[in-house]
Amino acid sequence: MSLVGSNLINQWWCKRRGYMQGLSGVGLALTMTGFLPTLFRMGANVAGWQETYIVVGLVLMLLFVPSSAFLLLDKPEDFGMRPDGLELCIQTACNFKQDEDEPLGQVGEIPEIEVCYTQAEAVRTASFWASGISCLVWAALCTGVFFWIPEVVQESCHGRSVDTQDNVLAMFYALSSIASASSTLIAGWLLDTCGWKVPLICALSCHTVSLVTLPLITSMETAIPIFLIFGMGNGMMNNLTQTVMAKLFGREHLGKISGISQGMITFGSALGPLLFGYFKDSIGTYSSVIRGSGIFPLLSLVAVMFCPKIKPCINCHDDADTGNLQYELVLAPLDQTVD
């Protein structure tokens, strides 16, 4: 479901893609962690949990399924429109004929071409793997922390009262959700204005700091800044996991490309809690496991920082039938970078 929703936003918005995904992320964060759990709990207390889930299922089937069928529009091109803020690639640089070494020289203004890559071209780039593995690392560590956070709080607040431990745990969910809802907008603004590297580096930095400092929680006062930093990193990554691939590789083959990246995120989410539990049994404490796991977002940060940029170029060649020049977007070699 998240892949469908993010692809719709990526298809309809280009210039403000990050901001629109951020707005969607705010609603998702607030409803999943605030409104819906409260509503479900109230319904369970009044009518029972079985009746509550039956009502929710009927609402989804009778209201949201028909409205989705009529209101969800796949691509703007299907309705004679263009995406909001689409920036097309217009190059007048020196181009080469296909299979020839002699340049054509200046050929004038090339027709507008949206820079889009196929799945095969995308997976050849360092940017795809740097961003994809960063998302995998985040998903694994984030789900690991959420799964084991009661035991982590109990261990770090050892010697404190049970009420203090319960309050710290409740604060974790509240503060991380609030910080996540606000930081997803920040990530969207950074993505729209600074490109994909800056917000991803900021998110990985927050994740590294929060993992290293999470075992230091001993009271409510020490927990507040750590939980806020953890939530900020999660909120930024929630936005970036949905928008980075569209920012890098365009809209035309986005479903296939995002399918790989979302598969990596799903794999990381399933693997994280398992690895946390395994290494806790081997090492003995959650504190050591969480501190040691901070090295992975740090390594991902370095990989993103030094990742070469993708350099698209346009080749032109003579059409065999008409003799007119034809233009096609090609991907520069993997090791070719631009300043």
Domain boundaries, the chain: 95-116+312-331, 119-305
Better-predicted residue by pLDDT, 301 or 7 = 301
Give the mean pLDDT of 129-147.
Answer: 91
- Under DSSP, the state recorded for 80 is T
Check pLDDT > 90 for residue 138. yes
Phi-psi map region of 105: left, alpha, beta (phi>0 left; psi -120 to 50 alpha): left
Q: What pLDDT is attached to residue 208?
A: 94
Query: Angle at Cα 291 formed by Cα 289 and Cα 295, nearest 5°?
Result: 105
Better-predicted residue by pLDDT, 23 or 136 = 136
User: Residue 198 has which token pair?
Assistant: 């800056």
Please give the mean pLDDT across all residues of the chain.
77
Q: Is 64 exposed, middle or buried (0-12, 13-18, 19+ CB in 10 A)?
A: exposed
Q: Is 239 exposed, middle or buried (0-12, 13-18, 19+ CB in 10 A)?
A: buried
Per-residue pLDDT tens over the stretch 91-136: 433 343 344 444 444 444 444 556 778 888 888 889 999 999 999 9
> How far apart (Å, rounded) are the C-alpha atoms in residues 49 and 55?
10
Categorize the per-residue pLDDT at 300 as very low, low, confident or very high, splitting at 50, 70 and 90.
very high
Indicate the CATH number for domain 119-305.
1.20.1250.20
Per-residue pLDDT tens over the stretch 72-101: 777 777 767 777 766 554 443 334 334 444
| 314, 330 contact by CB (below 8 A) | yes
User: Residue 184 has which token pair?
Assistant: 């997803």
Give the mean pLDDT of 256-283.
Answer: 89
Q: What pLDDT is attached to residue 253?
A: 82
